């Protein structure tokens, strides 16, 4: 009987210790993780950073080096210690890895870097011609926009010639690239091309000859 009582006294003493241990190993989740939306988190990390995006760069346990920065028109930011960082064409995840590597090389051992977008730069294309809604079309936040989605959203008129849509794009070297695209084929699924758009693209939907 005495042994049985001693056993339960030991168990009672250990219970608070187990509760403390459980609290110490709990993980604080980000708002997106806590909401149980893995898709939202995945989209955010794969978002390609744009000039004029406002981003926050945080270094774990190095609060004095945290910065909120606007990406320059050339796609660069400047960070403490490491200086200019080129983020052209980088996703949020790739930017984190790039910055982590730069700090890891000379300053910290395996630093934990977090990059978040605080404010998205305006990203839009322009459409004109035989559509109900001419003018600017904004990209969805953190997502891409295809030619088919832009033309469909603008509402082609009854006379629209969707077989000869013109897409004009200004290249980084200043040249203009022009493509004539059969959007009807895209609608029918007869083309393997998706024609993802880039900010600043100009779309013209001509009218059919009557």
The per-residue DSSP string of the chain comes to -HHHHHHHHHHHHHHHHHHHHHHHT--PPPHHHHTT-HHHHHHHHHPBP-TT-EEEEEETT-GGG-EEEEPPTTSEEEETTTEEEE-TT-BHHHHHHHHHHHHHHHT-SS--EEEEEEEPPP-EEEEEESBSS-EEEEPPTT---BHHHHHHHH-B-TTB-GGGEEEEEE-TTS-EEEEEE-HHHHHHT--S---B--TT-EEEEPBPP-
What was the pLDDT predicted at 144? 85
Query: Per-residue pLDDT tens for 58-81?
Result: 999 999 999 999 999 899 999 999
Asked if residue 149 and residue 106 are part of one domain, the reply reads no
The answer to whether residue 138 sits within a structural domain is yes
Residue 52, judged by CB atoms within 10 A of its CB (0-12, 13-18, 19+), counts as middle
Q: What are phi and psi for residue 138, nearest 5 degrees?
A: -85, 145
Parallel/antiparallel/unpaired status of strands 202-205 and 124-129: parallel
* pLDDT class of 44 with cuts at 50, 70, 90: confident
In a domain, 100, yes or no: yes
4-22 residue pLDDT tens: 444 444 444 444 433 333 3
User: Structurally, how many domains does the chain consist of?
Assistant: 2
Asked, for residue 60, whether it belongs to a domain, the answer is yes
Instruction: Give pLDDT tens digits for 99-125.
Output: 999 999 999 999 999 999 999 988 899
**What CATH number corresponds to the domain at position 128?**
3.10.560.10
Q: Are residues 65 and 87 in the same domain?
A: yes
Closest CA to 67 of 79, 75, 76: 79
Is the same domain home to 46 and 65? Answer: yes
Domain span at 194: 124-205
pLDDT for 26: 27
Considering the domain architecture, whether residues 105 and 141 belong to the same structural domain is answered as no
Tell me which of 84, 119, 154 is where a domain ends: 119
Task: Check whether residue 163 and residue 86 sit in a common domain.
Answer: no
Record the pTM: 0.61
One domain, residues 68 and 134: no
User: What's the mean pLDDT when you consider all of the chain?
Assistant: 82
Whether 70 and 105 map to the same domain: the answer is yes
The answer to the question of residue 10 being in a domain is no
Check residue 43 and give its pLDDT.
57
pLDDT tier, 42 (very low <50, low <70, confident <90, very high otherwise): low
Q: Please check whether residues 66 and 102 belong to one and the same domain.
A: yes
Residue 8 domain-assigned (yes or no): no
103 phi-psi bin (left φ>0, alpha ψ -120 to 50, beta other): alpha
105 shares its domain with 179: no
Q: Are residues 97 and 129 in the same domain?
A: no
């Amino acid at each position: 009987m005495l042994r049985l009582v001693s056993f339960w006294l030991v168990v009672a003493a250990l219970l608070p210790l187990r509760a403390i241990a459980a609290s110490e190993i709990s993980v604080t989740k980000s708002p997106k993780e806590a909401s149980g939306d893995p898709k939202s988190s995945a989209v955010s990390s794969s978002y390609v950073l744009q000039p004029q995006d406002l981003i926050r760069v945080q270094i774990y346990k190095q609060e004095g080096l945290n910065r909120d920065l606007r990406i320059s028109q050339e796609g660069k930011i400047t960070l403490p210690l490491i200086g200019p960082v080129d983020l052209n064409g980088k996703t949020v995840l790739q930017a984190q890895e790039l910055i982590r590597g730069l700090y890891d090389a000379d300053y910290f051992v395996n630093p934990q870097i977090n990059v978040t977008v605080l404010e998205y730069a305006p990203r839009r294309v322009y459409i004109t011609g035989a559509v109900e809604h001419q003018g600017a079309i904004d990209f969805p936040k953190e997502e891409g926009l295809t030619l088919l989605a832009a033309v469909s959203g603008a509402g082609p008129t009854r006379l629209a010639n969707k077989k000869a849509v013109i897409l004009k794009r200004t290249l980084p070297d200043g040249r203009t690239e022009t493509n004539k695209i059969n959007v009807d084929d895209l609608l029918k699924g007869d083309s393997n091309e998706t024609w993802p758009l880039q900010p600043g693209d100009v779309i013209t939907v001509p009218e059919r000859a009557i």
